[in-house]
Amino acid sequence: MVIAIKGCVPSFTPRRKVFSPLAVSVGILFEAKHKGPDTMKLLLYSKKAETEDDPLRHAIESVLPANQIEMCSTFEYFFHRLHQPTYDLMAAVLVAENHADLSNLVSIRDLLADLCVLLVLPDQHPQTIAAGFRLWPRFMCEAQDNYTDIGRILRKLIQSRPPSVANEAILTPDNPPV
């Protein structure tokens, strides 16, 4: 832990990483939160995520390269992934194949609170839409859509991200931990 005392300057050299566990974790979090879209990932939860002919996957891959898309085809893996740090995720595209899938997603909605959620619902019944709104999505559509809107929203989300400042995330005298 680095504590600045008035009149004392921490002994940092430019571009030297600090090895204190707190400072390193603060630096990693700072770096990940301020990196540009080239390093941020998209989390895709869909049972068809692994198939090559999925139109949603094609719409997403038209905006992001495949190595920036983390695919979860089972709810168990998706649940496990949300228990890991999510600071490297810019958004999550969630496909609820049926009502049971949607109720599973609603049951873990607190884990999705820090993510921009794009939700694909199985139908347009009022009860389904009401359950979908419990996930606080930025966008909702039905599974029958052609997913061009999701591609446009992801493109706009990427364009709104700040430019990469990965080199400035290393702790220096000019850039102390916050």
CATH number for 108: 3.40.50.2300
Q: Is residue 26 part of a domain?
A: no
pLDDT band at 172 (very low <50, low <70, confident <90, very high): very low
Residue 169 has pLDDT above 80, yes or no: no
Q: Is residue 108 part of a domain?
A: yes
Q: Is residue 57 part of a domain?
A: yes
Q: Is residue 155 part of a domain?
A: yes
CB within 8 A of 149, min separation 6: which ones? 139, 141
What percent of the chain is modeled with pLDDT above 70? Answer: 69
Residue 142 has pLDDT above 80, yes or no: yes
Structural domain count of the chain: 1
Which amino acid does the sequence have at 13? T
Is the pLDDT higher at 23 or at 113? 113
Query: Residue 26: its pLDDT value, please?
Result: 44
- Rounded mean pLDDT, 49-60: 84
Q: Give pTM, 2 decimals.
A: 0.69
Query: Residue 49: its pLDDT value, please?
Result: 75
Q: Is residue 14 part of a domain?
A: no
- Written in H, E and C, the secondary structure of the chain is CCCCCCCCCCCCCCCCCCCCHHHHHHHHHHHHHHCCCCCCEEEEECCCCCCCCCHHHHHHHCCCCHHHEEEECCHHHHHHHHCCCCCCEEEEEEECCCHHHHHHHHHCHHHHCCCEEEEEECCCCHHHHHHHHCCCCCEEEECCCCCHHHHHHHHHHHHHCCCCCHHHHCCECCECCC
Q: Is residue 70 part of a domain?
A: yes
- Dist. CA 31–CA 36, nearest whole Å: 10
Q: Is residue 24 part of a domain?
A: no
Q: Is residue 106 part of a domain?
A: yes
| Residue 53 lies in domain | 37-160
